[in-house]
Amino acid sequence: MQPKITWVKNKMPKSEDKNLSIMSLDNVAAARKFHKSFPQYSVTPLADLSRMANHLGLKGLFVKDESYRFGLNAFKVLGGSFAMARYIAKETRKDISACDFDYLTSDQLQKDFGQATFFTATDGNHGRGVAWAAKRLGQKAVVHMPKGSTKTRFDNIAKEGAKVSIEQLNYDDCVRLAAKEAAQTEHGVVVQDTAWQGYEEIPSWIMQGYGTMSAEAACQLRTLEVNRPTHVFVQAGVGSLASSVVGYFTNLFPDNPPTFVIVEARAADCLYRGAVAADGSPRIVTGDLTTIMAGLACGEPNTIGWDILRNHANAFLSCPDWVSAKGMRMLAAPLRTDPAVISGESGAVGMGAVAAIMQDPAYADLRQELKLGRDSQVLVFSTEGDTDPERYREIVWDGAYPSLEQDN
């Protein structure tokens, strides 16, 4: 039979929760104000899948569609651009409110700051966002991609003027390479959402940048007369996005937060493994981390994000590739009058998980544990569109990774 979703309820001991304040409403508001200063900014759609919700046995199902973000087909640019701005603000001793798009593209910036080289590792979306922001802000970017990265994603980054390479390394080793090269480069800066001991400030800024997406979604839900989602499904690689979403909505609804479900790729389920161990310490997954969910193929957790998730996430899911493929197909071909969402491999796993939990009797215990049913208002984040068009068509058109795939 096909490999199953495995899950664990969060039973980890709580920490002092010192990192929750990173995602304060004020910090997220500052990030959103910064993003609004870009001429390319617009609020991305929130798809109201009312018929799909009814079909699955839910009250509401809402999908934040990041395929429209800044014309880059993914949300990642939110974090990289804001981190660059916060870094420049710190170096020039300015408040972030003074470092808007106009200032960062002005001749005055060259006098105040000059030019830095921003180094990063990526499967594609983050690197493209860093390269895009660096080009528009007159900075340099160097991007390392792990082995197995596709030519389409490589070309998208190269088009933005970055120096880009595909290394014979996995993602986490590419991060180490980027950090090493930045340390050896004058005015070199690592822009990575993976935090480690001694490297925590920039990852926290990236998380705040991601908060723009959550803040938009919260406002959009209110216009649909949904004051608060009862459940939030969010995918995780290193956990920066997941902890950004969890942190923001926990601060927004401190007395009654939603139920937070963290979904990971089976090949890189480091957060899930930490939750299974239940001792509060993160776990690391090594090896090639082979999965269609390239954006989630990260084996070492962001230590800041892990702290937020261990305190506030309710459940962790480890998902085989068919879960994402199922979500991609369902979003591409919704029920009549529901809007279609073009969601890539790393963007659709939340949708696939919701559908499997609600439709498959094998997950009845998980459905009961999460209290998912006719009163549930579920928010899901589709974090990328068809960033690899050929792979997208293989899955959506040709049926690759079917839900009934046999486990040989």
> Which tokens hold the place of 366?
């998980």
Q: Percent of the chain scored above 70 by pLDDT?
A: 99
Q: Percent of the chain scored above 90 by pLDDT?
A: 89
Confirm whether 76 is a catalytic residue: yes
Nearest-angstrom CA–CA distance, 160 and 197: 31
Q: How many CB atoms lie within 10 A of CB 276?
A: 17
**pLDDT band, residue 65 (cuts 50/70/90):** very high
- Residue 370: what pLDDT? 98
> Which tokens hold the place of 406?
């046999």
Confirm whether 123 is a catalytic residue: yes
Q: How many residues does the chain have?
A: 408
Q: Which phi-psi region, left, alpha or beta, contains residue 303 (left: φ > 0; alpha: ψ -120 to 50)?
A: alpha
* Phi/psi at 191 (5° precision): -120, 90
**pLDDT band, residue 408 (cuts 50/70/90):** very low
HSE value, Cβ hemisphere, 13 Å, CA-based, for 71: 8
Q: Where are the alpha helices (DSSP H) in 57-117?
A: 77-91, 101-104, 107-112
pLDDT at 406 over 50: no
331: Cβ contacts below 8 Å, ≥ 6 apart: 63, 340, 341, 342, 343, 348, 351, 382
What the chain holds in terms of domains, given with CATH numbers, is 6-74+202-396 (3.40.50.1100), 77-197 (3.40.50.1100)
User: What does the pLDDT look like over 203-219, one tens digit per residue?
Assistant: 999 999 999 999 999 99
- Residue 405: what pLDDT? 45
Residues facing 381 on adjacent strands:
64
Question: Which letter does DSSP use for residue 384 in this model?
Answer: B
- Residue 10: what pLDDT? 98
Question: Would you give the end-to-end CA distance of the chain in angstroms?
Answer: 8
- Residue 150: what pLDDT? 86
User: What does the pLDDT look like over 225-256, one tens digit per residue?
Assistant: 999 999 999 999 999 999 999 999 999 999 99
Residue of 48, 64, 65, 123 with catalytic role: 123
Global pTM reads 0.94
- Tell which wins on pLDDT, 31 or 288: 31
Residue of 64, 76, 140, 326 with catalytic role: 76
Q: How many CB atoms lie within 10 A of CB 16?
A: 8
pLDDT at 157 over 90: yes
User: What does the pLDDT look like over 32-48, one tens digit per residue?
Assistant: 999 999 999 999 999 99
Strands 377-382 and 231-235: parallel
